[in-house]
Amino acid sequence: MTNRELNEEDVKYDFTSFFYCYAYDKKMSDGHFLVDFTIISIRMISVALGGMKMSDMTRVALDAMGGDNAPVEMVKGAVEAVQKRNDIQVLLTGKEEILKEELAKYTYPDEKIHIVNATEVIETAEPPVKAIRSKKDSSLVTAMKLVRNGEADAFVSAGNSGAVLVGGQLLVGKIKGVERPPLAPLIPTLKGVSLLIDCGANVDARPSHLVQFAKMGSIYMESVVGKKNPTVGIEYRRGRRERECPCERDVSASERVS
């Protein structure tokens, strides 16, 4: 096995040290539910992949300023998460005075939510690379540094997804051997759920990337969702650029992931 290949133990190890999730924060009142759900899901994933015991406390760094309705929905979701479970601690990153004012609206265990001050905010439309490099004291960057420094076990943001991906690579780092990080949401189906991987993080995926996506997705579905021997399919669309795309010229890719 070469150092470019991915195995299940690598995924298990790295998921427990860093799991970032892009929590979609709709412009609706249920944004807090999505944040709450994501925080609790991370706890379940950490235990399922073998890196944590049920008795361990999961520390989640939450970008409280990221998202359309931040920090209102972010704070509300954090409060609901710690009220539902006693094994989660949330570190809210953002402008301290604003977060204190928002937290004052709720009753919750004081030791379960802490504020880490961050003076800047990365907006949704900002160029990801420039934002990560120039706004070093942003709530998003601060939250990722908490994971990198071992002060948090996981990271959640409903903000700029491009900045999340860039920051994940530049600040925290990829699993050894992984060429490209994918975005992978669970999609409801008539038979349960399917994992869509990748859903937009990469526009020029090559055959080797597709194979790695298939491996990571299979491990996730089996270890976290609980689906034994998950099947893998590949979407193939012909178009005007078909002759220009190297991944479409190499038909072996579809044979390797099916």
| Per-residue pLDDT tens digits for 79-109 | 998 998 888 899 999 999 999 999 999 999 9
The pLDDT value recorded for residue 65 is 96
Cβ atoms 228, 54 nearer than 8 A? no
pLDDT(126) > 50 = yes
Rounded percentage of the chain residues whose pLDDT exceeds 90: 41
| Per-residue pLDDT tens digits for 137-188 | 999 999 999 999 999 988 899 899 899 989 988 998 888 888 888 888 888 8
Instruction: Give the residue, 8 or 19, on which the prediction is more confident.
Output: 8
Residue 37, sorted as left (phi over 0), alpha (psi -120 to 50) or beta, turns out to be alpha
Report the side by side order of strands in the sheet with 154-157.
Answer: 20-22, 154-157, 58-63, 88-94, 113-117
Q: Strands 186-189, 192-195: parallel, antiparallel or unpaired by DSSP?
A: antiparallel
The pLDDT value recorded for residue 85 is 85
pLDDT(190) > 70 = yes
Ranked by mean pLDDT, the top range of 17-21, 79-83, 178-182, 251-255 is: 79-83
Q: Which two tokens stand for residue 75?
A: 């704070």
Whole-angstrom Cα distance, residue 231 to residue 247?
Answer: 21
- Inter-residue long-range contacts of 190-199, CB under 8 Å, 24+ positions, other chains counted: 192/227, 193/225, 195/220, 195/221, 195/225
Cα distances from 23 to residues 44, 54, 83, 135, in angstroms, run 16, 24, 19, 21
Segment (H or E) for 211: helix 207-220
Say what the pTM is: 0.73
| Per-residue pLDDT tens digits for 43-64 | 666 665 555 665 578 899 999 9
With bands split at pLDDT 50, 70 and 90, how would you rate the model's confidence at 41?
low
